[in-house]
Amino acid sequence: MDSAPPPPADGTDDHPLRAELRTWLEEHPTPSGRQLAGRGLVAPHWPPPWGLGADPTLQLVVDEELRRAGVRRPENTIGIGWAGPTLLHAGTEEQKERYLVPLLAAEEIWCQLFSEPGAGSDLASLTTRAELDGDEWVVQGQKVWTSYAHRAQFGILLARTEPDAPKHQGISYFVCPMDAPGITVRPLVDMTGTHTFNEVFLDEVRLPRENLVGERGQGWSLGKVTLGNERVSLSGAGALWGMGPTADDLVATVRDTGGTSDPILRQRLARVWGEGEILRLLRMRMVAAAVAGVPPGAEASVRKALADDHGQHIMDLARDLAGASAMLDGTGPAPGTPDAGPWPDAMWSYGFLFAPALTIGGGTSEVQRNIIAERTLGLPHDPEV
């Protein structure tokens, strides 16, 4: 066992909690989701007892120590990334007590029942209704593009409770158990061949009164809390909403497989690498602002808009560099064999097929640019249609 922890790789000053954390990880080399949640390591920036109330420096320390110990966090993207923060923001003590620990431990998976066939970018036009009947809400409507609905135990649901109020004011926010009678989940298989999202039909679904989150009619402002967290969650370093390969990975793969002499592809590689650097610097500015206690300002919206385009540029370029082998699913000829092409990894072919979704999910790129235009550049508001 090390007597003193080495300085962190990124050169930041060491943190007093690092040694304590490292000892805990040595004592728990294969922690369960619940143990990680109990120790506050799943979402360290959440307040205790669910997190550590960690500032960005401590978050980096936790990330480094988990990586060093080879420990992965539980996966529950929507639960941990955006349902949980909304429950923390507006949930009752009972709701926090009931839902947050199983959510952090990924013992209960969550989905997001927001988009409808007629309400995506203009989410406030949603028509799913919830009517109070005694002590129960009765929900009627349809949702679409609901990622993980087929695996989820709970969904965060937006439904209209005040049909006569202006559209942004008549919406409420609920927790919806996905096994409630009246819920039908139908799969939608996307062009990667993967089943991630679904249509969800809600036919006289009865929710207990206490499943309302926040005040009745306050759903729009809570939905914005959820979507704000979604946009931050989707803006990591990898090409696919923070996951998957980066521009650096693409350049390294090209270099490791002999480079390319095609002048156009070389130009595009340099450009995509430059985009990656700009995004990395923007992310560092966001972290630096957070450390200094300054709100991130325009960087977050700008980063989301740039990162989605960047992910598509990486995947388009990977396909063009690979040529015909890009059409393979990654199970084709082994790397180094005459027919292989430089991209044997299934991630690239999956990534290329998934990339069009980047500028749609989490708010389309046009909507992101509207937000930048209105809130940052002070341009006139997008006309309502």
Ligand X SMILES: Cc1cc2nc3c(=O)[nH]c(=O)nc-3n(C[C@H](O)[C@H](O)[C@H](O)COP(=O)(O)OP(=O)(O)OC[C@H]3O[C@@H](n4cnc5c(N)ncnc54)[C@H](O)[C@@H]3O)c2cc1C
DSSP letters for 138-167 = EEEEEE-S-TTTTT-SEEEEEEES-TTS-T
Nearer to ligand X, 125 or 260 (CB): 125
Sequence-distant (≥ 6) Cβ neighbours of residue 351 within 8 angstroms: 239, 240, 244, 245, 311, 314, 315, 318
What's the min distance (Å) between Cβ of 114 and ligand X?
A: 3
| Site of tokens 């420096």 | 57
Sequence-distant (≥ 6) Cβ neighbours of residue 116 within 8 angstroms: 126, 127, 128, 141, 142, 143, 144
Nearer to ligand X, 192 or 257 (CB): 192
Binding site for ligand X (CB under 6 A): 111-112, 114-115, 120-121, 145-147, 197, 357, 360-361, 363-364, 366-367, 370, 382
Task: Kindly report the number of other CB atoms within 10 A of residue 257's CB atom.
Answer: 16
Nearer to ligand X, 140 or 370 (CB): 370
What's the min distance (Å) between Cβ of 118 and ligand X?
A: 8
List for the chain the helix, strand, coil content (%; round to 5).
45, 15, 40
> What is the Cα 9 distance to its own chain's centre?
26
Nearer to ligand X, 197 or 348 (CB): 197
- Which residue's C-beta sits nearest to ligand X? 120
Amino acid at site 314: I
State the DSSP code for 380.
Answer: P
What's the min distance (Å) between Cβ of 101 and ligand X?
A: 23
Residues in the chain: 385
What's the min distance (Å) between Cβ of 16 and ligand X?
A: 39
What's the min distance (Å) between Cβ of 54 and ligand X?
A: 27
DSSP letters for 286-351 = HHHHHHTT---TTHHHHHHHHHHHHHHHHHHHHHHHHGGGGGS-S-SSPTTSTT--S---HHHHHH
What's the min distance (Å) between Cβ of 251 and ligand X?
A: 26
Tokens of 114: 């927001």
What's the min distance (Å) between Cβ of 356 and ligand X?
A: 8
Report how far apart, in Å, the C-alpha atoms of 373 and of each of 15, 231, 292, 301, 381 are: 40, 17, 26, 10, 8
Nearer to ligand X, 314 or 357 (CB): 357
What's the min distance (Å) between Cβ of 211 and ligand X?
A: 18
Q: For the chain, how long is the longest CA-to-CA vector?
A: 72
Nearer to ligand X, 149 or 207 (CB): 149
Catalytic residue among 64, 116, 230, 275: 230
Contact criterion met (CB below 8 Å) for 211 and 76: no
- Does 230 participate in catalysis according to the annotation? yes
- Helix (H) or strand (E) run with residue 113 in it: strand 110-113
Nearer to ligand X, 117 or 297 (CB): 117
Task: Kindly report the number of other CB atoms within 10 A of residue 153's CB atom.
Answer: 16
Question: What is the dihedral angle through the alpha carbons of 166, 168, 169, 171, rounded to the nearest 10 degrees?
Answer: 120
Active site residues: 230
